[in-house]
Each structure stands twice: as structure tokens, then as C-alpha cells.
Chains A and B, each alone.
Chain A
Amino acid sequence: MDIESARKFYSQMLLIRRFEEKCIELYSSRKIRGFLHLYIGEEAIAVGVMHALSAEDAVISTYREHGHALARGISAKSIMAEMYGKVEGCAGGRGGSMHLFDAKRRFYGGNAIVGGGLPLAVGMALADKMMKRDRVTVCLFGDGAVAEGEFHESLNLASLWQLPVLFICENNYYAMGTALEFSESEVNLSKKAAGYRINSFQVDGMDVTQVAESAKNAVEDIRSGKGPVFLECLTYRFRPHSMFDAELYRKKTEVNAWKDKGPLVTFKKTLEDKGLWSKIKAQEIEDEITKTIDDAVTFAENGTLEPISDLEKFVYSPEEAQ
């Protein structure tokens, strides 16, 4: 690993971590509202996967997507403004935390219906295949989605039609408050995908280099016409499901054990072992991120509230397009 990649991986993961820590603070002070689903603990997946994509590729995400959006290059400013419900937000304040969108970065949204994004990814990829475009659609979802019918319908279609989709299952072992063992007859989720004759792999989702490497290989295979790929990234959510979760369903000891294997601590250790830690200048990164987040909050605070007269805008396309 070169210093540049090391620095990028670390700083992107840290940006997501610090951004969300700021979100907790802002939520507690009621600056942002609605649901807030935190990604803390899972940062390596977003960073590793987005690293493997080109600007032409498309991303379909879930309601736990701040990390995906930041790693895809959507600015902290426009995400924070979205959380504030301001016009300058990446969805103009219409979506909030669960529905970040950015056409320029081909980010087709946080979808807050579990499993609801998978059929969309199939269709996006179908369009690319029909038009013979060299693009990949990445679809991220959690282990909870695996229980939904749309998961099975979509994997079947993607495999049957050999579509250029990269399925990323972020298995954090809990569908909200239900542990995987109480949801699934087969807890090895990559086996389910393999049942649809999709090339499937289990990946250590706490290890950013492993995720990046696996995603890179997957994207190459997909581009070379080998059909869809399924990566099950094993991870853990350090925070509650949302801000309303009392976490009655899991033990503190379990959470702490996972924190010891967290993506930032393990990556720091890897860099230390390779003698790269001192070279990435971690304090400099920390300072840059503090400034990025402060700027994002200021930007969001100073953002514009959309006039109520615009309320019914965007229900349909403008008249001239019809």
C-alpha cells in the first residue's frame, strides 16, 4: 500500500466517523430531526467499495448512507444542509438523512424501504447492458434486506440476465433489533447469493484494504462481462439502530469486543506495522476534518429554507417537460 492510498482510506473513514459524531451532537441539540441511522463502525465498507468505482458507475444505497455518500464524494456541506432541511442540501431538503441524492455523482439515493433499492439496481444495470455502456451499478443493503422477497427476486433477475450489478451486503448481524440467527435459516448470506449462481464472497468488512481489494476485483469481473457479484461484508454497528433504540437486544460486552476490531483501530495498527502511520500525518488529517465539518455546519446553519409556496414542486416534472 502506498502512502497516498493509506492517507485517503484513513481520512475518508475518519471523516465519516467525525461527521456522524457531529450529527449525534446536532440531533441532541435538535438542530437535525427525523430518523438518524448511524454508520459508525461500518466505515471501511463505504470507503473500500467507493474506491473501486469510476465516476460513470452508479450507487444505490439505504437509509444508513451518510458514509456511502461521503465516500462517493458528495460534500459534507451538502449532506449537512440536507440534514438541516435546507435548499442547499443534496436533495434540496426534501429527503433528509435517509434520502441523500446526487445526480452529478450518480448517487441514486438512500432508499428507506428495506430491500427496495435492489430492483432499482437491477433496472439500472439492465439499461446499461441494453445500451452497451461500460458501467457498473453498486447496490448496498444490510442483512435485514436478505429476508425480503425483493432480495431474492432481484438476485434471480441479475443472475438470470447476467447484469452488471455489484451487490454489497453490509452484514452487521442485526436487522434493527433482531439478531441474524433469529431472522435467517442460513446465516452465511453469501451462500444464499451463490444459490442464484452469483459469484459470492465473504469479506472482513472491518478491513478497508480487504474490502477495497475485493470490490476492485468484483468490479473488474463485472466489467469483463462475468455477470453480477455479491460481497457479504461482515461488520458491526457500534451505535444503536437509530436515536430511539434502547439496545435491549445485545450486550455491552459484545459491542465492546467489536469496537476493539473497529475499522479505524485496525487500520491504524496495519499502518503502524507497515511503518506508514507516522507518514500519513494523522493529526493533520484530524485538523482538516475538523475544519471540513465546522464549515459544513456553518454552511447548513446559513442555508436557505425553501419557501412554502414551493411545497408542491417536484411532484411532477415541470410543465414544459410534459
Chain B
Amino acid sequence: MKEDKQTTYREAVREGIRNAMQKDDRVFLMGEYVGRYGGCFAVSKGLLEAFGNARIIDTPLCESAYTGAGIGAALNGMRPIVEIMTVNFSLLALDQIMNNAATLLHMSGGQFNVPLVIRMSTGGGKQLAAQHSHSLEGWYAHIPGLKVLTPATVQDAYSMIESALNDPDPVLIFENSLLYNSQGTLDTNAKPLPIKKAVVKRPGNDLTILAYGINLFKALDAAEILEKEAIDAEVIDLRALRPLDDETIMNSVKKTHRVMIVDEGWRSGSISAEIMARINEQAFFELDAAMGRVCSAEVPLPYAKHLEDAALPQPVKIAAMARQIMEDA
């Protein structure tokens, strides 16, 4: 693939997988509909033809067993990529992810690491109601032993596949289903950024907006609105929820002295709560105003479009929260 071509997020993930499979015959893809159907979001379309059914494996609907099989294969020398359709379905595999993938290295006294990558879609916005739309990546970020990546950009959608496969421990990648059609530039020769590296996407001086996944773009839209009101927002793409890049976060807080977080998870016990706690612990005296956040409403996501829109973070809500923080003397 040439540099700087406009690529969709979907193609970027696919090319990331293709690249990894070409380089390393231990890599394989396993999940529901990844082969003959071409992937439930068409991510793996064409990979069955390219690599055959021994490496692009259609599984029955048994999230727990095929995720556990991914762990077993990883223990036995492979580099599996397990695809789970949505984060809501991953709950059927939570036992394997939490009780095996995350614990085996520690429980075995360092003898057995699990080099497994699990990809799944996340997030609302497609009117899929309360069993297909949630954002539970913050839950997974609670678990020691896991790494949690949230690629927002086309470049990260591609590069994070390689970063995750190079990691000796289990890595979960959360792809917002609304991002699959988004476009951006992709440099397949770019060296992947370290997993633990948040990126300042829009430098600013007045306040910091921390976001990840699709909400990065909502935050950038909000920054456009705020710019017209002479509020200069700095927008940071967290990229990973575990580990969190405390250094980049605190450096920005030290610069702007005002901070808010956009988090599509529910606010109670959320990753945004964790980030606020860390800022409180590490940079409290840098703050000129109380921290703020925009999260999803604490309801199972509804089907009706106007209700779903109201439940999710939106640029206008982010801008409103930013104004409130700026007004706080």
C-alpha cells in the first residue's frame, strides 16, 4: 500500500492483520463469521481467500470456548487474533479473559505468558439498543494483566495490530463500530508508537480535553466550536486505557490547568473516574478549576435515535462542559 492514500479504518485493520499474517506464520484469526462471511463488519473480507481456512477460522457461536482456545493456542506457541463481534458478547468470554488470560503469568510464577490479541467492536450510535452498543473497555482496564487499546485513527487501527502482536501479554483492542467507515491517511512503513503513549492531537492553552476512540473526533469537533468563542482547547488521544499515559496527561494539566474527560462508558466507576483520581493525586495543585467529564447517560442504550443521541457524549455537550470549566474561577 502506498503512503498517504485515503484509507478506511476497516481497511486499515484488515491490512494490519494481513501484514502480520504475512510476516509470521504463528498469527491466525479466529472468530464468528471472520471467514466465509467476511467478518460481521467486513473487516476480514478477502483474508480467507488469501490465507485459507487453516488460518482464518470460522468458529461456532461460543465466545468462551474460542476465546479460551485462543489463550491455549497462545500458551502453545501461536500468536492468535481472536475477534469478538461486540463488547457486549465478550461478556460470555469474560471468565476466560479475566480468570485465565489475565492471571496465568502471575499465578504460574512467571512461567506461562499469554501472547493473545482480542479485537472487538464497541460503542453506540447505530441504534442497536441495549445489547450491542455499550462501551465496556473501561471495565477491562480495571484488570491487572491486560492491556487495553482504543485506536481512534486509521493509522492506529493498522499499527496497533502489530504492537499488540509484539506484546508478550494479552492485549484487547476496542474498535468503535462507527469508525469502520471513517477515512484517514495510512503509512504502512511508519514505526508503531509505543502502546503506552497518549498523543496531543490539537495543542491548546486554555483547557485539556482527554478522549479516546470515536470520542476523540467529537472532542475535536467541540474544540472547533470553542475556538469560535476564543477558547483554545488542547485535545489528547489517550490511545490506551491500560496502561494510562500519566506523564502526557499531567504535562497537559500543568500547561492548561483545566481538564475534562470524554468517556462513552457510564460515569459510575468509569475510566474517567480513574483518570480524575490520578490527576487529583498527581497534579491537584496545578488545577485552576474543578475537573469535568462527559459520559454516557446511566441507562441501557435505547433504540430510538433521539434518545440514543441524548444518551451519548456529543460535541455540543463537550463544548458546554468546557465552557462551564472555563467559567469556574
Contact = CB atoms under 8 A, between A and B. Distances in A.
Our verdict on whether A and B bind, yes or no, reads yes
A140 B68 CA distance: 16
A126 B96 contact: no
Contacts of B80: 123
Of B59, B80, B100, which is in contact with the most chain A CB atoms at under 10 Å from its CB?
B100
B75 A108 contact: yes
A127 B71 CA distance: 10
A226 interface: no
A121 B72 contact: yes
Interface of B: 28, 54-55, 59-60, 62, 64-78, 80, 95-96, 99-100, 104-113, 144-145, 147, 167-169
Given A121-B72, A315-B144, A150 B105 contact: no
A92 interface: yes
Given A116-B68, A123-B76, A91 B105 contact: no
B169 A316 contact: yes
A128 B65 CA distance: 17
Interface in A78-127: 89-95, 99, 101-103, 108-109, 111, 113, 116, 118-127
When A and B form their complex, which 7 residue pairs have the shortest distance between CB atoms, in order from nearest? A119-B68, A123-B72, A92-B109, A153-B65, A123-B69, A127-B76, A153-B62
Interface string A292-322: 0000000000000000000001111100011
Interface stretch (A2-10, A154-162, A234-242): A154-162
A158 B27 CA distance: 20
Nearest to A127: B76
A111 B107 CA distance: 10
A119 B72 contact: yes
Contact of B108 (A109, A149, A313, A321): A109
B48 to A, nearest CB: 16
A93 B65 contact: no
A71 B78 CA distance: 28
A92 B111 CA distance: 9
Contacts of A127: 72-73, 75-78
Interface residues of A, number: 46
Nearest to A163: B69
B111 A91 contact: yes
Contact of A94 (B67, B106, B147, B168): B106
Given A91-B111, A109-B112, A322-B167, A123 B105 contact: no
Given A116-B100, A123-B76, A131-B77, A101 B108 contact: yes
B62 A314 contact: no
A58 interface: yes
Contact of A321 (B69, B77, B168): B168
Contacts of B74: 123
A315 B110 CA distance: 8
B106 A122 contact: no
The prevalent SS among residues of A at the interface is mixed
Contacts of A103: 108, 111-112
A101 B103 CA distance: 13
Contacts of B104: 109
A79 to B, nearest CB: 13
B108 A118 contact: no
Nearest to A313: B110
A94 B112 CA distance: 13
24 contacts: A91-B109, A92-B108, A92-B109, A94-B109, A101-B108, A102-B111, A113-B99, A116-B99, A119-B64, A119-B66, A119-B71, A120-B71, A122-B69, A123-B80, A126-B73, A126-B78, A130-B28, A130-B54, A130-B55, A137-B72, A156-B65, A157-B65, A314-B105, A316-B145
Of A109, A125, A128, which is in contact with the most chain B CB atoms at under 10 Å from its CB?
A109
B145 to A, nearest CB: 6
B71 A123 contact: yes
B110 A92 contact: yes
B287 to A, nearest CB: 29
Contact of B72 (A126, A313, A317): A126
Contacts of B99: 113, 116
B109 A160 contact: no
A322 B78 contact: no
A230 to B, nearest CB: 16
Contact of B109 (A128, A154, A314): A314
Contacts of B55: 130
A119 B69 contact: yes
B112 A116 contact: no
A93 B111 CA distance: 12
A310 B58 CA distance: 42
Contacts of B70: 123
B68 A120 contact: yes
B280 to A, nearest CB: 22
